[in-house]
């Protein structure tokens, strides 16, 4: 350790708590709600006495990196079975932007433009459907006559994650047992001295250093991140959280290969809109075959409309924002959205490996819940209720251990938390979904068939395949045909001539029409950053995106990290390396898995660290 590092360690403060929690999302909401509800019923129960502050209640602290608890990004539809179980008699009117699911429809979208890279089978399907005319096709869309049972969200809720989190947090804080601190990123777990892949042990968390320059070096007002030592560390920092990633790396478990970027807008509809709150649309087929879409209707003429761009879309030009603009202009959507106003916009990485990406759920002194623990069900397209329920399961387990005066060892957590999870509907669903989407890695049609098989047989049948690492899922330009190469060269020229992003120019070269901006709903990506809530980057923290091997970046032709960057925070630097401006970063984490040239072919050449700031939008 250098003398400078020694000085930092000398200044580093330490605090002890009973339970330290990382990340405040639905999973943590479920965990803390379970804990606080039990405490409210019997506050005098000795099980709730703090070990580190005798005579006081449990000291439970939760740290969230976003500037506000309402800054999460997602409009969701969920069956809400777990959520409703936690709040019997839940009235959606209590939660802003929430509504009971009233109607579900599934649309196959034809391509009204003719620019999408559709496989031959889809082109044939489009041709056949068009032959049948209005009998089957209306507004360039074919509505499935029924919604597959596995997709149904009957009895569920449509809501905004931001508003839901805010609502849950208000109740938790009012209860008084737990403290939740936004704008406080956690940089890493603190491993026990003897901890390794066989002896998994965590003794707390380290908060991010404050008062540092963008490279993390001490600057004015330097304050080393505090060590928060805890009897139990609960990790629920989502798909790209620094603590969860560090645990998976150290313990060599939890390989995440399937990802998607969810990008959406919240739109205020025209006053004459007839869309009923609680309406849910699922779409597929447009703007590319690989891109699925959704429209959820909230109260007060607000809708969440968006797309999922998956890692198995092998094309390097994953320009999610441009695709989203084409998506909302599809005739079946546009007839409702035209004349609307953009209220909010945002993006988030979704960890879609599910059961296959599951890490160790617990070790000595720690447990993992939510999306980062592999709870998302990609067959049903559901993650929020699953995440919430894993939090509830851990909450019940912790109560059992506290009441039994048992410590938070790996064995005890396995006996309580993991046992509950394995016996639950979350686990059953995860197993059914485990290989449901494998087929997409070998083709869209094969993917749809595999998904239908898994869905209709509850996972007994599926089209299994070996999943490549995320970097290897990106097909290099040089592997594409001559025609594509020519388009790429034309796009490079267009980008140079017009000073626009290369991937955007590539889509134009491929035949996608330019977006006709209206200043209300169709706006530039930078305007979306400003209109849909604004991005803030706290100056006291280090940059949270770093490029490891810059020579590798210079030699990269795909630049998918630039194409996929939701806020255009990563751009082409003058020397050929990507340049990062955190003032535009919405913390979606897409850069992490959109790197085509990882140093070892497996992990990314981009490091995504804990950082404060991000998009301020309470309607997401």
Partner 1 sequence: MSDSYHIVVCAGIVPDPLQTLEPTTGENGPGVKNEMLLPAVLDPWAASAFYEAPNLAAKHAGSRVWLVSLGPKAKLQQLMMTVAQKASFELVPIDGPIGGFTDAHATAAALADAIAVIPELDRSKLLLFGGWESATRGAGVTLQLVGERLGIMDQFQGVDRIDARDDGSFEVLERVEGGKHQISVCAGAPAVLGWATGNLAEPRNNPRVGMANMRTIMPALQKAKSVSLAADGLRYISVSLPSQQRTTRVVKDLTADEIARELVEWIEAE
Interface positions, 393-452, toward partner 1 (CB under 8 A):
none
Q: How far is the CB of 214 from partner 1 (least distance, A)?
A: 13
342-364 in b/e form (b: 16+ CB < 10 A) is bbbbbbbbbbbbbbbbbbbbbbb
Residue 569, helix vs strand vs coil: coil
382 in Cβ contact with 305 (< 8 Å): no
Q: How far is the CB of 336 from partner 1 (least distance, A)?
A: 21
Q: How far is the CB of 261 from partner 1 (least distance, A)?
A: 22
Among 181, 403, 493, 520, binds partner 1 (CB under 8 A): 181
**Residues touching partner 1, count (CB under 8 A):** 51
567 in Cβ contact with 535 (< 8 Å): yes
Nearest 5°: phi and psi at 179? -115, 135
Binding mask 24-63 vs partner 1 (x if CB under 8 A, - otherwise)? -----------------------------------x-x-x
Q: How far is the CB of 567 from partner 1 (least distance, A)?
A: 10
* Among 30-38, 66-74, 506-514, 597-605, the segment contacting partner 1 (CB under 8 A): 66-74
Is position 618 an interface residue for partner 1 (rule: CB under 8 A)?
yes
Would you say 26 or 357 has its CB closer to partner 1?
26
Strands 366-368 and 227-235: parallel
Interface positions, 75-114, toward partner 1 (CB under 8 A):
96-97
Q: How far is the CB of 217 from partner 1 (least distance, A)?
A: 16
Binding mask 118-157 vs partner 1 (x if CB under 8 A, - otherwise)? ----------------------------------------
Binding mask 564-603 vs partner 1 (x if CB under 8 A, - otherwise)? -----------------x-xx-------------------
Residue 614, both tokens: 């991000």
Q: How far is the CB of 416 from partner 1 (least distance, A)?
A: 27
Residue 190, both tokens: 């603190």
Is position 616 an interface residue for partner 1 (rule: CB under 8 A)?
yes
Is position 534 an interface residue for partner 1 (rule: CB under 8 A)?
yes
Would you say 10 or 600 has its CB closer to partner 1?
10
* Among 166-174, 327-335, 474-482, 595-603, the segment contacting partner 1 (CB under 8 A): 166-174
Report d(CA 531, CA 518) in Å as an integer. Answer: 13
Is position 226 an interface residue for partner 1 (rule: CB under 8 A)?
yes
Is position 68 an interface residue for partner 1 (rule: CB under 8 A)?
yes
Report d(CA 82, CA 596) in Å as an integer. Answer: 38
Report d(CA 246, CA 236) in Å as an integer. Answer: 13
Q: Count the Cβ atoms, other than its own, within 10 Å of residue 596.
A: 22
Would you say 82 or 532 has its CB closer to partner 1?
532
Is position 221 an interface residue for partner 1 (rule: CB under 8 A)?
yes
CA distances to 65, 231, 272, 555, 573 from 552, rounded to whole Å, are 30, 42, 53, 5, 14
365-382 in b/e form (b: 16+ CB < 10 A) is bbbbbbbbbbbbbbbbbb
Among 148, 211, 216, 218, binds partner 1 (CB under 8 A): 211
Would you say 1 or 574 has its CB closer to partner 1?
574
Interface positions, 289-348, toward partner 1 (CB under 8 A):
343-344
Report d(CA 436, CA 617) in Å as an integer. Answer: 34
Residue 344: name the closest of 143, 468, 160, 135 by CA: 160
Among 8, 15, 129, 449, binds partner 1 (CB under 8 A): 15
Helix, strand, coil content of the chain in percent (nearest 5)? 35, 25, 40
Q: How far is the CB of 284 from partner 1 (least distance, A)?
A: 30
Q: How far is the CB of 184 from partner 1 (least distance, A)?
A: 6
Is position 182 an interface residue for partner 1 (rule: CB under 8 A)?
yes
Strand partners, 106: 282
Would you say 24 or 259 has its CB closer to partner 1?
24
562 in Cβ contact with 495 (< 8 Å): no
Residue 90, helix vs strand vs coil: coil
Q: How far is the CB of 366 from partner 1 (least distance, A)?
A: 19
Is position 255 an interface residue for partner 1 (rule: CB under 8 A)?
no
Would you say 398 or 531 has its CB closer to partner 1?
531
Report d(CA 378, CA 373) in Å as an integer. Answer: 14
Answer left, alpha or beta for residue 241, where phi above 0 means left and psi between -120 and 50 means alpha.
beta
List all residues 6 or more positions away from 319 whose beta carbon is below 8 Å from its beta carbon: 501, 503, 504, 506, 507, 563, 564
Among 124, 131, 144, 170, binds partner 1 (CB under 8 A): 170
Among 26, 381, 391, 533, binds partner 1 (CB under 8 A): 533
Q: How far is the CB of 59 from partner 1 (least distance, A)?
A: 7
Q: Count the Cβ atoms, other than its own, within 10 Å of residue 507.
A: 22
Q: Count the Cβ atoms, other than its own, within 10 Å of residue 129.
A: 17
Question: Which 3-state string (H, E, C) describes 486-548?
Answer: HHHHHHHHHHHHHCCCHHHHHHHHCCCCCCCCCCCCCCCHHHHHHHCCEEECCCCCCCCEEEC
List all residues 6 or more positions away from 471 whose beta carbon is below 8 Å from its beta carbon: 593, 595, 596, 597, 598, 601, 602, 603, 604
Q: How far is the CB of 541 from partner 1 (least distance, A)?
A: 10
Among 4, 6, 11, 13, binds partner 1 (CB under 8 A): 13
- Chain residues in the site for partner 1 (CB under 8 A): 13, 15, 17, 59, 61, 63, 67-71, 96-97, 163, 166, 169-170, 173-174, 176, 179-184, 207, 210-211, 221, 223, 226, 228, 343-344, 526, 530-536, 540, 581, 583-584, 616-619
């Amino acid at each position: 350790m250098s003398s400078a590092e020694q000085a930092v360690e000398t200044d580093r403060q330490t605090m002890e708590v009973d339970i330290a929690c990382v990340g405040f999302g639905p999973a943590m909401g479920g965990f803390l709600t379970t804990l606080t509800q039990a405490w409210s019923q019997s506050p005098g129960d000795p099980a709730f006495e703090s070990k580190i502050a005798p005579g006081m209640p449990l000291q439970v602290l939760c740290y969230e990196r976003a500037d506000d608890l309402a800054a999460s990004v997602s409009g969701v539809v969920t069956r809400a079975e777990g959520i409703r179980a936690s709040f019997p008699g839940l009235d959606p009117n209590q939660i802003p932007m929430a509504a009971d699911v009233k109607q579900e429809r599934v649309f196959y979208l034809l391509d009204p433009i003719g620019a999408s890279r559709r496989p031959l089978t889809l082109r044939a399907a489009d041709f056949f459907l068009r032959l049948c005319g209005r009998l089957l096709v209306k507004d360039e869309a074919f509505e499935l006559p029924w919604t597959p049972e596995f997709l149904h969200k009957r009895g569920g809720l449509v809501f905004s994650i931001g508003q839901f989190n805010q609502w849950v947090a208000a109740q938790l804080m009012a209860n008084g047992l737990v403290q939740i601190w936004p704008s406080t990123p956690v940089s890493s777990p603190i491993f026990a001295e003897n901890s390794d892949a066989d002896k998994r042990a965590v003794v707390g968390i380290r908060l991010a250093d404050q008062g540092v320059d963008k490279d993390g070096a001490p600057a004015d007002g330097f304050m080393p991140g505090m060590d928060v030592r805890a009897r139990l560390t609960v990790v629920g920092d989502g798909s790209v959280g620094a603590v969860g990633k560090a645990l998976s790396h150290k313990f060599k478990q939890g390989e995440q290969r399937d990802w998607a970027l969810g990008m959406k807008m919240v739109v205020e509809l025209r006053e004459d809109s007839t869309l009923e709150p609680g309406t849910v649309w699922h779409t597929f087929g447009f703007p590319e075959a690989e891109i699925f879409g959704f429209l959820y209707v909230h109260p007060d003429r607000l809708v969440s409309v968006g797309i999922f761009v998956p890692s198995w879309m092998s094309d390097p030009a994953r320009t999610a924002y441009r695709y989203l603009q084409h998506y909302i202009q599809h005739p079946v959507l546009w007839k409702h959205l035209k004349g609307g106003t953009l209220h909010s916009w945002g993006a988030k990485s979704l960890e879609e490996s599910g059961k296959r990406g599951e890490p160790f759920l617990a070790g000595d002194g720690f447990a993992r819940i939510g999306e980062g623990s592999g709870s998302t069900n990609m067959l049903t397209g559901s993650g929020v209720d699953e995440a919430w329920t894993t939090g509830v399961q851990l909450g019940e387990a912790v109560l059992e251990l506290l009441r039994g005066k048992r410590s938070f060892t790996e064995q005890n957590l396995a006996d309580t938390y993991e046992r509950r999870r394995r016996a639950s509907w979350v686990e059953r669903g995860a197993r059914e979904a485990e290989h449901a989407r494998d087929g997409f890695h070998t083709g869209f049609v094969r993917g749809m068939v595999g998904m239908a098989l898994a869905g209709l047989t509850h996972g007994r049948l599926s089209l299994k395949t070996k999943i490549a690492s995320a970097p290897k899922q990106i097909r290099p330009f040089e592997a594409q045909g001559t025609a594509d190469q020519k388009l790429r060269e034309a796009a490079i020229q267009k980008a140079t001539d017009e000073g626009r992003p290369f991937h955007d120019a590539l889509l134009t070269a491929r035949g996608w029409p330019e977006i006709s901006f209206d200043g209300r709903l169709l706006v530039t990506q930078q305007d979306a950053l400003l209109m849909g809530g604004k991005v803030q980057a706290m100056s006291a923290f280090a940059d949270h995106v770093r490029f490891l091997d810059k020579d590798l970046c210079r030699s990269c032709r795909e630049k998918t990290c630039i194409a996929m960057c939701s806020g255009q925070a990563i751009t082409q630097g003058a020397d050929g390396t990507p340049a990062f401006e955190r003032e535009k970063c919405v913390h979606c984490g897409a850069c992490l898995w959109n790197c085509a040239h990882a140093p070892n072919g497996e992990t990314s050449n981009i490091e995504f660290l804990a950082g404060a700031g991000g998009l301020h939008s309470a309607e997401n």
